[in-house]
């Protein structure tokens, strides 16, 4: 194995600089004790509320007849100067209580780059941008008021393609880019539309190309897609009369980040803003950061104490909050005839839309993951975040990874075919192994990626050709697997394909989690967290960790939804980071509560703390075999032999923040530790393609992921299943059609998502567990990953079935048919 | 213009005045504060607002998207919403099955799917996979990938057979 510029391990488990210590623990470590709830699959703790209709979402909350109805006036223009706004007629309409425009709130906001206003001020940059907002007594009056707002626009030439947008010929979408505030790891290019440029320069490209037996270059496209949570964005804001405290009830993945962004944008104290998030009807990234909530608060500030509700219609949801960014990817790869990758030169042009306050970090994540999950000695990656006059790109499940893997994973298959190699073997040769150096110079931690590839291939019935046969199984009609094949005269063709993936939590280096575990009089525990259960099962996973750490039954643990006035801090519910990061905080809080309890008992009973334990809500002594239920002591304490008392209400606390992520060199992208860790995996699919119509049906998806440790294996599988079908849906059906910036299909008839009849007949989920050194019980995240490789796996299977390669998502019947008849 | 109508919802009789342009969904959620029925698109395309409605003279309750029914049209109807699926704290076998199989994630589509699945099992107590998929094609779910939902309906069908429901 060559050791050019990077380090390739010999699979010896060399941890190098990547190793991190466990988070400090206050007591003998729960993780080394025998555990019963971790790795079990208790049912969802809020399941009953959700199946009875009792679960309360924001729009279900009751605010009484005083409630005002907010609506947003959107720009109909993709790019234009605002010449004049006249709101006088709207203000004069009876029943209209508040009208706000950009002039009322001129400041900038943004998560990573402050390039967004609550309302457009001098120019609009996309169709759907908020220009003004109204609050009125009824929705009907609010709608009338919107119609009465007069706006005069002067159209400007637009940018509707990221490659053009990155060129000097393009008009500037943000002429003031140079003056915008941003975090230190984002690199805007002044005087251009490039709001972030992430570079990787590693090894010697000339050498890499020279060593290759095959060099192949191809371009791949991914359209904008929408998250489609079934619950659209909705929030209610209210300010105590007289300019007092503001409360925001928000369907959000990020109550604390919203509080932070709004407080800063409006120059108010964080303690004067309270964000409450009840149940959330799906997010998939769209409800991360801030979108409509600032406008609701702005309206509430003029509403004299009345609450204002702002709820997006389904049409608004499609393009006025966040979308997934589009991508044009140029992939160039060199490979030896044995299948070893010698070099990769990848350029990603991200269609960031009119604001890239969030998207800049997606392009960064794409940059530091830009080779896919492979060891590559010579690397040149450019990930360019480009302003366009398209809807605003934001976080979406996978955070850039489904988009870049679409090209990389198809490219691997094409290279393998051209060289007559088995794509599974090519992936196994090149995939990152323990101790390998990643493209940014980080040492890869122990990972089950090879296992995932092998298991997924085996489960789909992959048959590798005999060595030296020269036949590639990825070629047309590579074969069928274990189900009845279509009749020979049928026009249906079967094929199978596979794709691997990696993804790190993409976030600032230091996002924090905290938690409390409070004991109640009856011996039950209340866990408070700042992360949100958006359907992924966080409440249940946290209940399991608290129950395990404390020594109580899961039925005796309650987990609160978020209220920033009472919940401890959590950065955001993103990056598949809650089980890992918030889980560490909850476990630590539970262990802290347990320590407080045992210390009290030890002192009251005159025992050594090491002889005591808590099992199923009872403190027991291994020495005396005495036991006492928690309800007797966790609030009132215990009486000592002399009649005095010890102890008192037990409140455990815990926190977690990674302390080891390092900056990367802006010119080379190199640094010791780019990210906290990578979750890796592989999907294999079988499809049936109708050669007469081009229609693709997915028959089976196998998902295999290394989750470190499955806290709740059944819920891990539900993430894999849901992600696989969402990935399949984007692969075959989805894409926002934008014509000169105008969305043409913002509804479920013209923008189809997978339904019950589209879902594959068979989904198989395989859990691989190579523990994460700093995860609770070894766990790492799995929320986003299951949709990352689905689309390229399907594309590879379609090629296998009918020999056509679809390089632009989605793989529609029309494209397949046209390619077959070319 | 308002209309005076009467209907029953989950067995309770209501005599109310409704604006002519309001949908049944609005009346259920806003006037009756039965918020278990969800608003997902207001265009009859997602199924989150599904309820069961037995029209005057109708043979049995049938599922409808309540956003596509104008409130005055519901005059004289008998309506069952998600809140009416359980009886005296006794969950419907479908509700039990959805919990047991993990068929709910964010939960927003769940009420509409449950009432639609109830209608399916009432007319076809032993549906095949294909029949279940076809019955639920109008109910979008973005979280689960549908497989657990189909499993849950099958499980409930088996449970229903065992208790002779």
**pLDDT digit string, tens, across residues A478-506:** 443 444 567 777 899 999 999 999 999 99
Q: Indicate the pLDDT class of residue A820, thresholds 50, 70 and 90.
A: very high
CA pair distance A753, A748, nearest whole angstrom:
7
CATH no. of A323-507+662-820: 3.30.365.10
- With CA atoms as reference, report the closest residue to A681 among A537, A584, A580, A793: A793
Q: What is the pTM of this model?
A: 0.95
pLDDT in tens, B80-107: 999 999 998 899 999 999 999 999 999 9
Whole-number Cα distances in Å, A607 to A596, A601, A637, A694, B125: 14, 8, 16, 75, 61
Query: Using CB atoms, which residue from A49, A313, A748 is nearest to B140?
Result: A748
B68 shares a domain with B40: yes
**A296 pLDDT higher than 60:** yes
Residue B6 C-alpha, separation from nearest chain A C-alpha, in angstroms:
23
Residue A610 DSSP class: G
* Average pLDDT value for residue range B98-123: 98
Q: Which residues of B touch A697 (CB under 8 A)?
A: none
B105 shares a domain with B59: no
Residue A355 backbone zone (phi > 0: left; psi -120 to 50: alpha; other: beta): beta
A184 burial type by CB count under 10 A (0-12 exposed, 13-18 middle, 19+ buried):
exposed
Q: Which of B33, B64, B84 is a domain's end point?
A: B84
B150 shares a domain with B116: yes
Partners of A279 in the β-ladder: A57
Q: Is A699 helix (H, G, I), strand (E, B) or coil?
A: strand
B71 shares a domain with B15: yes
Instruction: Output the pLDDT for position A346.
Output: 98
Residues found in chain B? 165
Mean confidence (pLDDT) of chain A: 94
Residue A53 C-alpha, separation from nearest chain B C-alpha, in angstroms:
4
Q: Report phi then psi at A557, rounded to 5.
A: -120, 130
| Strands lying side by side in the sheet with B50-54 | B12-19, B2-9, B78-80, B50-54, B62-65
* Average pLDDT value for residue range B5-25: 98
Does the annotation count A784 as an active-site position? yes
pLDDT in tens, A195-207: 999 999 999 999 9
A241: Cβ–Cβ under 8 A, 6 or more apart, which residues?
A304, A305
pLDDT in tens, A418-461: 999 999 999 999 999 999 999 999 999 999 999 999 999 999 99
Instruction: Output the pLDDT for position B161.
Output: 76
Percent of chain A clearing pLDDT 70 (strictly above): 93
Q: Which of A40, A41, A53 to mutate to test the interface with B (most CBs of B within 10 A)?
A: A53
Which tokens is A58 given?
């924001």
- With CA atoms as reference, report the closest residue to A727 among A421, A430, A501, A477: A501
A348: Cβ–Cβ under 8 A, 6 or more apart, which residues?
A327, A328, A329, A330, A363, A366, A367, A370, A381, A382, A383, A384, A403, A404
B69 shares a domain with B140: no
B71 shares a domain with B125: no
Instruction: Output the pLDDT for position A324.
Output: 98
Q: Is A69 helix (H, G, I), strand (E, B) or coil?
A: strand
For residues B71-110, one letter each, b for 16 or more C-beta atoms within 10 angstroms of the residue's C-beta and e for the rest, the string is: bbbbeebbbbbbbbbbeeeebbbbbbbbbbbbbbbbbbbb
Q: Indicate the pLDDT class of residue A43, thresholds 50, 70 and 90.
A: very high
CA pair distance B76, A806, nearest whole angstrom:
54
Total Cβ atoms within 10 A of residue A727: 31
For residues A300-309, one letter each, b for 16 or more C-beta atoms within 10 angstroms of the residue's C-beta and e for the rest, the string is: bbbbeebbbb
Instruction: Output the pLDDT for position A34.
Output: 65
Residue A503 DSSP class: E
Interface contact A43, partner B, CB < 8 A: yes
CA pair distance A600, A635, nearest whole angstrom:
11
The residue of chain B with its CA nearest to that of A64 is B30
Note down the domain range covering B56.
2-84
* Average pLDDT value for residue range A740-763: 98
Interface contact B91, partner A, CB < 8 A: yes
The residue of chain B with its CA nearest to that of A762 is B147
Angle between the N-to-C axes of helices A449-460 and A423-430, in degrees from 0 to 180, rounded to the nearest 10: 170
pLDDT in tens, A685-715: 999 999 999 999 999 999 999 999 999 999 9
CATH no. of A58-156+233-311: 3.90.1170.50
What is the CATH number for B123? 1.10.150.120
**A323 pLDDT higher than 60:** yes
* Average pLDDT value for residue range A537-550: 98
Instruction: Output the pLDDT for position A22.
Output: 38
Query: Using CB atoms, which residue from B34, B108, B149 is nearest to A57?
Result: B108
Interface contact A12, partner B, CB < 8 A: no
| DSSP letters spanning A141-188 | HHHHHHHH-EEEEEE------HHHHTSTTSPPS-TTGGG--B-TT---
Count of structural domains, chain B: 2
* Contact in structure between A457 and A424 (CB atoms under 8 Å): yes
Which tokens is B119 given?
């209608």
Q: Indicate the pLDDT class of residue A741, thresholds 50, 70 and 90.
A: very high
CB contact under 8 A, A748 and B45: yes
CB contact under 8 A, B142 and A229: yes
**A20 pLDDT higher than 60:** no
pLDDT in tens, A268-280: 999 999 999 999 9
Partners of B65 in the β-ladder: B50
Domain extents for chain A? 30-55+511-656, 58-156+233-311, 323-507+662-820
Which tokens is A602 given?
């030890």
Residue B26 C-alpha, separation from nearest chain A C-alpha, in angstroms:
12
> Checking DSSP bridges between strand B2-9 and strand B78-80, what pairing results, if any?
parallel
Q: Report phi then psi at A505, rounded to 5.
A: -60, 120
Q: Which of B84, B106, B121 is a domain's end point?
A: B84
CATH class held by domain A30-55+511-656: alpha beta
Interface contact A54, partner B, CB < 8 A: yes
* Average pLDDT value for residue range A728-739: 98
* Contact in structure between A808 and A411 (CB atoms under 8 Å): no
* Contact in structure between A498 and A805 (CB atoms under 8 Å): no
Q: Which of B49, B99, B145 to mutate to test the interface with A (most CBs of A within 10 A)?
A: B145
What is the CATH number for B22? 3.10.20.30
Whole-number Cα distances in Å, A755 to A146, A338, B94, B145: 35, 43, 20, 8
From A46, A293, A784, A814, the catalytic residue: A784
Which tokens is B60 given?
């049995």
Residue B55 C-alpha, separation from nearest chain A C-alpha, in angstroms:
23
Q: Which residues of A touch B138 (CB under 8 A)?
A: 755
Instruction: Output the pLDDT for position A469.
Output: 39
CA pair distance A449, A678, nearest whole angstrom:
10
* Contact in structure between B25 and B70 (CB atoms under 8 Å): no
Percent of chain A clearing pLDDT 90 (strictly above): 91
Instruction: Output the pLDDT for position A8.
Output: 76
ipTM of the complex: 0.98
**A30 pLDDT higher than 70:** no
Whole-number Cα distances in Å, A539 to A560, A576, A771, B36, B105: 8, 14, 22, 21, 11
Interface contact B37, partner A, CB < 8 A: yes
Asked whether this chain's domains A58-156+233-311 and A323-507+662-820 adopt the same fold, the reply is: no
Instruction: Output the pLDDT for position A9.
Output: 63
> Which spans in B124-165 are helix H?
129-135, 147-162
Q: Which residues of A touch B98 (CB under 8 A)?
A: 47, 51
Q: Indicate the pLDDT class of residue A31, thresholds 50, 70 and 90.
A: low
**A304 pLDDT higher than 60:** yes
pLDDT in tens, B24-79: 999 999 999 999 999 999 999 999 999 999 999 999 999 999 999 999 999 999 99
Interface contact A281, partner B, CB < 8 A: yes
CB contact under 8 A, B137 and A755: yes
CB contact under 8 A, A282 and B143: yes
CB contact under 8 A, A759 and B147: yes
Q: Is the link from the previous residue into A172 a cis peptide, with omega within 30 of 0?
A: no
Interface contact A282, partner B, CB < 8 A: yes
Q: Which of residues 101-120 of B touch A (CB under 8 A)?
A: 102, 104-111, 114
Q: Which of B57, B84, B111 is a domain's end point?
A: B84
CA pair distance B49, A60, nearest whole angstrom:
13
Whole-number Cα distances in Å, A435 to A376, A580, A677, B136: 14, 22, 13, 48
Interface contact B45, partner A, CB < 8 A: yes
For residues B122-157, one letter each, b for 16 or more C-beta atoms within 10 angstroms of the residue's C-beta and e for the rest, the string is: eeeeebeeeebbebbebbbbbbbbbbbbbbbbbbbb
CA pair distance A811, A687, nearest whole angstrom:
12
B111 shares a domain with B155: yes
Residue A402 C-alpha, separation from nearest chain B C-alpha, in angstroms:
17
């Amino acid at each position: 194995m060559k050791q050019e510029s990077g380090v390739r391990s010999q699979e010896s488990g060399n941890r190098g600089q990547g190793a991190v210590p466990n988070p400090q623990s206050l007591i003998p470590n729960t993780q080394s004790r025998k555990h019963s709830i971790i790795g079990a699959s208790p049912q969802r703790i809020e399941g009953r509320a959700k199946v009875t209709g009792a679960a309360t979402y924001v729009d279900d909350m009751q605010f009484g007849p005083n409630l005002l109805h907010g609506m947003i006036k959107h720009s109909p223009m993709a790019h234009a100067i605002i010449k004049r706004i006249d709101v006088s007629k709207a203000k004069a309409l009876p029943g209209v209580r508040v009208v706000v425009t950009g002039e009322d709130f001129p400041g900038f906001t943004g998560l990573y780059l402050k390039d967004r206003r609550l309302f457009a001020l001098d120019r609009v940059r996309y169709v759907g941008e908020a220009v003004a907002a109204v609050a009125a007594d009824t929705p009907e009056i609010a709608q009338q008021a919107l119609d009465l707002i007069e706006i005069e626009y002067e159209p400007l030439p637009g940018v509707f393609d990221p490659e053009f947008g990155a060129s000097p010929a393009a008009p500037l979408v943000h002429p003031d880019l140079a003056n915008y505030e941003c975090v230190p790891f984002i690199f805007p290019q002044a005087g251009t539309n490039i709001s972030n440029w992430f570079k990787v320069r590693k090894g010697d490209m000339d050498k890499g190309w020279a060593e290759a037996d095959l060099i192949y270059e191809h371009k791949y496209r991914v359209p904008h897609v929408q998250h489609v949570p079934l619950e659209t964005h909705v929030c209610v804001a209210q300010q105590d009369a007289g300019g007092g405290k503001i409360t925001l009830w928000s369907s959000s993945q990020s109550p604390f980040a919203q509080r932070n962004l709004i407080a800063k944008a409006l120059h108010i104290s964080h303690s004067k803003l309270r964000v409450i998030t009840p149940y959330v009807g799906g997010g998939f990234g769209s409800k991360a950061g801030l979108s409509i909530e600032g406008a609701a608060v702005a309206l509430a500030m003029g509403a004299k104490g009345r609450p204002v509700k702002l709820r997006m219609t389904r049409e608004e949801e499609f393009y006025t909050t966040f979308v997934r960014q589009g991508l044009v990817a140029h992939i160039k790869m060199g490979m030896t005839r044995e299948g070893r990758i010698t070099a990769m030169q990848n350029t990603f042009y991200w269609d960031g839309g009119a604001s890239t306050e969030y998207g800049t970090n997606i392009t960064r994540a794409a940059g530091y993951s830009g080779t896919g999950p492979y060891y590559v000695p010579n690397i040149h990656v450019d990930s360019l975040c480009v302003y366009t006059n398209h809807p605003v790109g934001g976080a979406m499940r996978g955070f850039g990874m489904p988009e870049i893997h679409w090209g990389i994973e198809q490219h691997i298959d094409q290279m393998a075919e051209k060289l007559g190699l088995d794509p599974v073997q090519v992936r196994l040769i090149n995939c990152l192994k323990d101790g390998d150096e990643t493209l940014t110079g980080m040492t890869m931690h122990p990972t089950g990626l090879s296992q995932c590839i092998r298991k997924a291939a085996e489960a789909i019935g992959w048959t590798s050709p005999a060595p030296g046969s020269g036949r590639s199984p990825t070629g047309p009609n590579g074969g069928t697997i274990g189900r009845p094949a279509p009749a020979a005269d049928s026009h249906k063709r079967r094929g199978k394909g596979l794709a691997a993936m990696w993804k790190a939590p993409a976030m600032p280096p230091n996002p924090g989690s905290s938690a409390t575990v409070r004991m109640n009089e009856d011996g039950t525990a209340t866990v408070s967290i700042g992360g949100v259960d958006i359907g992924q099962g966080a409440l249940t996973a946290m209940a399991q960790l608290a129950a395990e750490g404390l020594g109580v039954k899961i039925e005796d643990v309650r987990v609160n939804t978020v209220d920033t006035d009472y919940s401890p801090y959590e950065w955001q519910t993103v990056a598949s980071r809650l089980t890992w990061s918030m889980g560490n905080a909850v476990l630590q809080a539970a262990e802290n509560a347990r320590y407080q309890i045992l210390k009290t008992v030890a002192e009251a009973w005159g025992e050594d703390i090491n002889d005591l334990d808590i099992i199923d809500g009872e403190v027991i002594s291994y020495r005396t075999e005495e036991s006492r239920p928690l309800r007797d002591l966790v609030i009132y304490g215990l009486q000592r032999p002399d009649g005095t008392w010890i102890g008192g209400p037990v409140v455990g606390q815990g926190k977690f923040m990674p302390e080891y992520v390092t900056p990367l060199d802006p010119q080379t992208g190199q640094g010791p530790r780019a990210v906290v860790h990578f979750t890796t995996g592989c999907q294999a699919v079988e499809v049936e393609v109708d050669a007469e119509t081009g229609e693709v049906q997915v028959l089976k998806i196998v998902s295999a992921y290394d989750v470190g440790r499955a806290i709740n294996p059944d819920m891990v599988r539900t993430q894999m299943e849901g992600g696989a079908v969402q990935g399949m849906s984007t692969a075959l059906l989805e894409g926002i059609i934008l014509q000169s910036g105008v969305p043409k299909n913002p509804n479920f008839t013209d923008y189809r998502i997978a339904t019950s009849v589209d879902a594959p007949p068979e989904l198989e989920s395989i859990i691989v567990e190579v523990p994460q050194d700093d995860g609770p019980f070894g766990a790492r995240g799995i929320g986003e990953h299951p949709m990352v490789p689905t689309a390229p796996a399907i594309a590879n299977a379609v090629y296998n079935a009918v020999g056509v390669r679809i390089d632009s998502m989605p793989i529609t019947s029309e494209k397949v048919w046209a390619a077959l008849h070319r | 213009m308002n209309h005076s109508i009467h209907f029953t919802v989950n067995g309770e009789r209501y005599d109310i005045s409704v604006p002519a342009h309001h949908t049944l969904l609005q009346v259920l959620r806003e006037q009756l504060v039965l918020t278990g029925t969800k608003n997902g698109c207001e265009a009859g395309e997602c199924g989150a607002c599904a309820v069961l409605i037995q029209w005057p003279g109708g043979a049995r309750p049938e599922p409808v998207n309540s956003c596509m029914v104008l409130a005055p049209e519901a005059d004289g109807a008998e309506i069952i919403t998600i809140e009416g699926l359980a009886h005296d704290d006794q969950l419907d076998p479908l509700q039990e099955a959805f919990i047991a199989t993990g068929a709910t994630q964010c939960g927003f589509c769940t009420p509409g799917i449950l009432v639609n699945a109830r209608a399916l099992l009432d007319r076809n107590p032993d549906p095949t996979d294909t029949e279940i998929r076809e019955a639920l094609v109008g109910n979008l779910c973005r979280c689960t990938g549908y497989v657990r939902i189909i499993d849950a309906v099958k499980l409930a069908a088996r449970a229903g057979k065992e208790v002779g429901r």
